[in-house]
Amino acid sequence: MIAYVTIGADDMERARRFYSAFLPTLGYSVEEYHGDLSYVLPRDEGASPALPDFYVKKPFNGQPASVGNGMMVAFEARNQAQVRALHAAAIAAGGVNEGAPGFRASYGPQFYVGYLRDPQGNKIALFSSNPDDPQRDDG
């Protein structure tokens, strides 16, 4: 089980603006600790935390943050409409479109996804596989 994901950022205010544009809608709350950001899911008193947490931090080694080639973090939305809304909100908050929301021929008929780059250049996916939404029409 993945407990948390950490990405690096050099400008925490830009990172906060970007991630706070969509993560709270997906149920995450943000906490700040020593200037770093922790996005966590709610948990009931005495229960184990909902995982994974998502951390945005300045690199521990003091060097500039950099993106990983082939590295991406995906967040699941409730439905296709939410994918579109969150993708637009993230772009308005400083993200860069890396692939407009829609179906991709490489994936199953229900997989609906939009891709972004955060202000640091990290690749983010927002997706839904909701069976109640329309599916890709290959006919």
- DSSP H helices, the chain, are 12-19, 80-92
Cα–Cα dist 112/80, whole Å: 6
* pLDDT value for 132: 95
pLDDT of the residue at 139: 41
Q: Where are the domains of the chain?
A: 4-59+70-128
4-59+70-128 is a CATH 3.40.50.720 domain: no
pLDDT tens over the chain, length 139 residues = 788 999 999 999 999 999 999 999 999 999 998 899 999 998 888 888 788 999 999 998 999 999 988 899 999 999 999 999 999 999 999 999 999 999 998 888 999 999 999 999 999 999 999 999 999 886 4
pTM above 0.85, yes or no: yes
The helix or strand, by DSSP H or E, that contains position 72, with its residue range, turns out to be strand 72-76
